[in-house]
């Protein structure tokens, strides 16, 4: 082991080594991207175990993502072997869950509590607001939830919160009811996990002492993204030494230029004032970057230098110049995705990189869909990190299973998936009876269902339920025969089976998200109808299953792996030989929300810095001239960050960007301003879209069909439909909620 340690120490530069062997007081390592901060943490742990006699159980290391925690554990395990398992290497949230599950009794909670993610908490808050009869325009659930989250990040619980103004009083009331609902559901939201752990440690000195005795070393990665609650949590765990236990050794690493979680209350202050908070602290700077080529580093340094009030850094690399950054101006988002796929293909063909060496980054999660569709079409193996793939969600699969049954009654897998979904009283026993009958008669399961009255052994109630189910299926088949397209059929299925009603009536906040996803699925179907008029349900299913069958894409050779796609936020701390940074448009990246706000713009710029500095050898950047947003084309100007790149680092390709037409189109920015939609909710699907109002005689423009005249209007609200005469394009009936239609 001694020789291993020597070798390890020899692989570090001077300041890195100093950080690894540092003993005693708190240690702060501040340094730019790729300078080995995370590596130093891993090596420090190995050194503690190997040279200082620390037991693995005495180590608590906190990383920002579970993926990072996994990698850290692996890095340490290769250095010290399986002993590494007793260490706690986790995110703040998983660490808190672990402590809270162990100590739940002290707080009068079940240790099996449920965890609500951000979407769940917004939905719960929306229900609370409804119950309090709050005006949904003035007090949207999303905004109340965000304010409660901010309070929790500041460790202000519902009892401690003292409202002043009238809106604050409303907030206080909502906060109280929200917490009450959480307790009734035996649930905690993300912010509760941290706040409750802090309160636990403060309220029960014996519990605090227990953990302080246990963790003699606390190490925190990505310290720039800790918020106040996390800061206090670390302080509580380390202790001040005034009790029976001396303080733990604390080592934190971070880079103020990579702070990208201000919206979660993260504060660079925690880095900037570390020395004041821990007077005996030692600070170490790392300045050599070991990750990227000079060009990539120069681009990153230049962009981040536009931020104000930062400590200038002297980050350098002795890697060579490297290749030029390649830029592409795409016609639209599909063209952009196709270009990315082409470049990847070419790189892999050259044989220098494998798919696993390549990452595609985008600003917001919803951007993955177009990349997924194109990658599937060209057979490029990929995975999306973070976020369940749309077509894998239960409700989406359920709805598609119904469509499949209608299109193909013999699809027994789909049939049995939906036979009792939603619950309609056809139990397993009844299903088994039908199956036996089918076997005996040598007929298909679907036919056996239709002949259920002959089965004999069925209870009257089951028989009735099956007959009703069969009648429903026949109704859907009728719809198809009379020419309903997939969108109308889906709507009818969700309505007539009671599937939607059940979700809408549910008090489980997750169900509201499921409703949104079903809306999104209907708009996928509407898009399909617009793109391929006359397309059948089977055609639609075929298109969708190509997207949904991503799992079955053959992985090209075992170790070649797959291309990774993720948001920029998820990319923090990672590195890839080849990086694609996409959607570089004002209004996309930087995000629409940030355009008018200098502080948010600086945060977006840090995000750009994070993105650029993930690349080791090659960086590709792209933007689209026109991009669909809210179902309509948006001409966004090039991202201002592009102007900030040193000109001699980038080589551009692409079609000459078409000028934006002077009428008929608006940028996403203008459109959002015009509709008064909150810019915070850009990720929403069709579920959030306002239904446009049209009258007979109105002139309209449709994405696919062009100009037309409204000849008939029917239905209201979400169900409103219009029949539009598109001249030579034919006459179409459109569901207004989903149709990509603008009134002229
Ligand atoms: P980020 O700010 O992006 O989190 P970081 O400062 O944590 O970056 P690391 O991920 O630890 O940087 O290191 C970046 C890369 O440089 C890694 O591949 C790491 O193995 C390598 N590296 C760091 N220090 C050295 C060194 N002394 N010798 C060789 N390679 C090194
Ligand atoms: Mg790191």
Does residue 12's CB lie within 6 angstroms of at least one atom of ligand 1?
Answer: yes
Report the first-to-last Cα separation within the chain, whole angstroms.
Answer: 76
Name the pLDDT band for 655 (thresholds 50, 70, 90).
low
Atom of ligand 1 nearest to the CA of 222: 4
Cα gap 360→567, rounded to integer Å: 8
Cα gap 464→468, rounded to integer Å: 6
Residue 650, pLDDT above cutoff 50: yes
Pocket probe mutation, ligand 1, options 68, 290, 316, 573, max atoms within 8 Å of Cβ: 290
State residue 558's pLDDT score.
47
Nearest CA to ligand 1 atom 15: 291
State residue 59's pLDDT score.
96
CA of 421 to the centre of ligand 2 (A): 46
The proportion of the chain whose per-residue pLDDT surpasses 90, expressed as a percent, equals 50
CA of 37 to the centre of ligand 1 (A): 6
Residue 675, pLDDT above cutoff 60: no
**Interface confidence (ipTM) of the complex:** 0.99
Does residue 291's CB lie within 6 angstroms of at least one atom of ligand 1?
Answer: yes
Residue 666, pLDDT above cutoff 50: no
How far, in Å, are 152, 178, 390 from residue 142 at the CA level? 15, 13, 22
Q: Which residue has the tokens 């009811």?
A: 177
437: nearest Cα among 418, 454, 460:
454
445: nearest Cα among 401, 412, 406:
412
Pairing of strands 27-31, 187-189: unpaired
Mean pLDDT score, 190-195: 92
CA of 636 to the centre of ligand 1 (A): 36
DSSP-based three-state secondary structure for 203 = helix
Between residues 584 and 386, the one the model is more confident about: 584
Cα gap 425→467, rounded to integer Å: 11
Cα gap 50→55, rounded to integer Å: 9
Helix (H) or strand (E) holding 60: strand 59-63
DSSP-based three-state secondary structure for 735 = strand
241 labelled ligand-binding:
no
Nearest CA to ligand 1 atom 20: 39
DSSP-based three-state secondary structure for 165 = coil
* Residues 617 and 354 sit within 8 Å (Cβ to Cβ): no
Nearest CA to ligand 1 atom 26: 12
* 548: number of Cβ within 10 Å: 19
pTM as predicted:
0.70
35 labelled ligand-binding:
yes
Does residue 313's CB lie within 6 angstroms of at least one atom of ligand 1?
Answer: no
* Residues 617 and 352 sit within 8 Å (Cβ to Cβ): no
Does residue 36's CB lie within 6 angstroms of at least one atom of ligand 1?
Answer: yes
Atom of ligand 1 nearest to the CA of 12: 27
SS3 sequence of 427-460: CHHHHHHHHHHHHHHCCCHHHHHHCHHHCCCCCH
Does residue 573's CB lie within 6 angstroms of at least one atom of ligand 1?
Answer: yes
The structure tokens listed for 545 are: 């299953």
CB half-sphere exposure, 183, CA atoms < 13 A: 11
Does residue 324's CB lie within 6 angstroms of at least one atom of ligand 1?
Answer: no
Q: All domains of the chain, ordered by start, with CATH?
A: 2-101+194-288 (3.40.50.300), 114-185 (1.10.10.160), 296-348+358-369+565-654 (3.40.50.300), 391-548 (1.10.486.10), 691-743 (2.40.10)
587: nearest Cα among 511, 672, 481:
672
Does residue 34's CB lie within 6 angstroms of at least one atom of ligand 1?
Answer: yes
Nearest CA to ligand 1 atom 18: 291
- Rg (C-alpha) for the chain, rounded Å, is 29
Residue 388, pLDDT above cutoff 70: no
pLDDT tens digits, one per residue of 475-509: 999 999 988 899 999 999 999 999 999 998 887 76
36 labelled ligand-binding:
yes
33 labelled ligand-binding:
yes
Residue 136, pLDDT above cutoff 70: yes
pLDDT tens digits, one per residue of 396-431: 889 998 998 898 887 777 888 899 999 999 998 999
* 184: number of Cβ within 10 Å: 9
Name the pLDDT band for 298 (thresholds 50, 70, 90).
very high
Mean pLDDT score, 20-36: 94
Strands (DSSP E) found in 336-478:
358-362, 382-384
Active-site annotation, residues: 37-38, 221-222, 258, 614
Nearest CA to ligand 1 atom 19: 36
Residues with C-beta atoms within 5 A of ion ligand 2: 37-38, 573
Atom of ligand 1 nearest to the CA of 610: 3
Name the pLDDT band for 718 (thresholds 50, 70, 90).
low
* Residues 253 and 270 sit within 8 Å (Cβ to Cβ): no
CA of 219 to the centre of ligand 2 (A): 13
Does residue 583's CB lie within 6 angstroms of at least one atom of ligand 1?
Answer: no
Residue 459, pLDDT above cutoff 50: yes
């Amino acid at each position: 082991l001694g020789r291993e340690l020597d070798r390890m120490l020899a692989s570090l530069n001077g300041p890195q080594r100093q950080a690894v062997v540092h003993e005693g007081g708190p240690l702060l390592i501040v340094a730019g991207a790729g300078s080995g901060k995370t590596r130093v943490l891993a090596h420090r742990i190995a050194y503690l175990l190997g040279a200082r006699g620390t037991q693995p159980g005495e180590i608590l290391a906190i990383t920002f993502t579970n993926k990072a925690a996994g990698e850290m554990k692996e890095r340490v395990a290769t250095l010290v072997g399986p002993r590494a398992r007793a260490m706690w290497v986790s995110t703040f949230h998983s660490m808190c869950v672990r402590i809270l599950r162990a100590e739940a009794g002290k707080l009068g909670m079940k240790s099996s509590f449920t965890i609500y993610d951000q979407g769940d908490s917004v939905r719960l808050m929306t229900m609370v607001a409804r119950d309090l009869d709050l005006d949904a325009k003035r007090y949207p659930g999303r905004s109340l939830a965000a304010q409660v989250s901010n309070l929790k990040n500041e460790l202000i619980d519902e009892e401690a919160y003292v409202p002043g103004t009238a809106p604050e009083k409303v907030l206080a009331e909502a906060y109280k009811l929200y917490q009450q609902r959480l307790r009734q559901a035996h649930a905690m939201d993300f912010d509760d996990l941290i706040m409750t752990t802090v309160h636990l440690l403060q309220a029960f000195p014996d519990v605090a002492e227990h953990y302080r005795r246990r963790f003699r070393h606390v190490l925190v990665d990505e310290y720039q993204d800790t918020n106040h609650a996390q800061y206090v949590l670390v302080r509580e765990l380390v202790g001040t030494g005034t009790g029976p236990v001396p303080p733990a050794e604390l080592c934190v690493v971070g880079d103020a230029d990579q702070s990208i979680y201000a919206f979660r209350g993260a504060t660079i202050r925690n880095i900037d004032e570390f020395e004041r908070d821990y007077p005996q602290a030692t600070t170490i700077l790392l300045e050599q970057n070991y990750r990227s080529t000079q060009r990539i580093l120069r681009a990153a340094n230049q962009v981040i230098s536009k931020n104000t009030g930062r400590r200038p850094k002297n980050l350098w690399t002795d890697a060579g110049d490297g290749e030029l950054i390649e830029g592409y101006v795409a016609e639209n988002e599909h063209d952009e995705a196709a270009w990315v796929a082409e470049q990847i293909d070419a790189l892999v063909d050259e044989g220098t990189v494998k798919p696993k060496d390549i990452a595609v980054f985008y600003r917001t999660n919803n951007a993955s869909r177009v990349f997924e569709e194109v990658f599937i079409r060209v057979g490029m193996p990929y995975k999306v990190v973070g976020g369940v793939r749309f077509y894998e969600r239960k409700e989406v699969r359920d709805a598609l299973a119904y469509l499949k049954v209608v299109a193909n009654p013999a699809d027994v897998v789909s049939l049995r998936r939906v036979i009792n979904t939603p619950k309609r009283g056809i139990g397993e026993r009844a299903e088994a009876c039908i199956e036996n009958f089918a076997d005996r008669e040598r007929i298909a399961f679907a036919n056996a269902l239709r002949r259920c009255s002959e089965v004999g052994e069925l209870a009257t109630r089951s028989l009735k339920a099956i007959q009703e189910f069969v009648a429903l299926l026949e109704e859907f088949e009728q719809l198809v025969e009379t020419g309903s397209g997939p969108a109308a059929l889906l709507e009818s299925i969700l309505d007539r089976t009671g599937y939607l009603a059940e979700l809408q009536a549910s008090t489980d906040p997750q169900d509201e998200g499921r409703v949104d996803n079903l809306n999104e699925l209907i708009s996928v179907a509407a898009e399909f109808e617009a793109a391929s008029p006359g397309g059948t349900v089977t055609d639609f299913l075929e298109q969708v299953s190509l997207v949904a069958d991503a799992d079955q894409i053959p992985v090209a050779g075992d170790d070649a792996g797959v291309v990774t796609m993720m948001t920029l936020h998820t990319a923090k701390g990672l590195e890839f030989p080849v990086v694609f940074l996409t959607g570089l448009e004002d209004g996309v990246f930087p995000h629409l929300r940030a355009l008018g706000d200098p502080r948010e713009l600086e945060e977006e710029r840090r995000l750009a810095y994070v993105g650029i500095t993930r690349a080791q050898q090659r960086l590709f950047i792209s933007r689209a001239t026109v991009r669909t947003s809210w179902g309509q084309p948006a001409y966004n100007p090039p991202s201002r960050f592009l102007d900030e790149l040193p000109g001699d680092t980038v080589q551009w390709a692409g079609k000459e960007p078409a000028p934006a037409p002077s009428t008929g189109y608006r940028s996403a920015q203008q459109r959002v301003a015009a509709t008064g939609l909150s810019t915070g909710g850009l990720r929403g699907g069709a579920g959030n879209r306002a239904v446009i109002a049209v009258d007979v005689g109105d002139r309209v423009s449709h994405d696919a069909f062009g100009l037309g005249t409204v000849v008939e209007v029917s239905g209201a609200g979400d169900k409103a439909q219009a029949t539009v005469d598109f001249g030579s394009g034919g006459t179409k009936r459109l569901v207004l909620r989903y149709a990509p239609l603008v009134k002229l």
